[in-house]
Amino acid sequence: MPPAPAAPPLPKVTKETGYAVCRELERERDNDYVIGLLERLEGENPCIAEFISRLAIQHEDPVGISTAALLVYRLLESQAEADDLRVQFHGQEQGTPEDSSGTTESTD
């Protein structure tokens, strides 16, 4: 029996995606952004939402733990969306060339 195909790797989050998620967070008041992420995650991926909730209640700062976990999830999700759009528009399986710092190399 042949081995099962490997799962695709998690996307490498770029600085641009990080900045975009920060802007999303800054546009919302108080914890509205994080609350919205958790509510959406409960519908789309309830196992991860439950994991984050259970992990958070075991710590001194449950809001901090859940906020960090949800933001990491959003970063990965946003980068996956950006990568999919790049493939659709440019037909590139892999992203643009990057150096070890994660910045796009100039081809000038």
Number of folded domains in the chain? Answer: 1
pTM for the predicted model, two decimal places: 0.75
H, E, C per residue of 74-103: HHHHHHHHHHHHHHHHHCCCCCCCECCCCC
Which carries the bigger pLDDT value, residue 59 or residue 103? Answer: 59
Which carries the bigger pLDDT value, residue 57 or residue 94? Answer: 57
Range of the domain at 28: 15-90
First to last CA, the chain: 49
Evaluate whether residue 107 is within a structural domain: no
- Span 15-74, pLDDT tens digits: 999 999 999 999 998 889 999 999 999 999 999 999 999 999 999 999 999 999 999 999
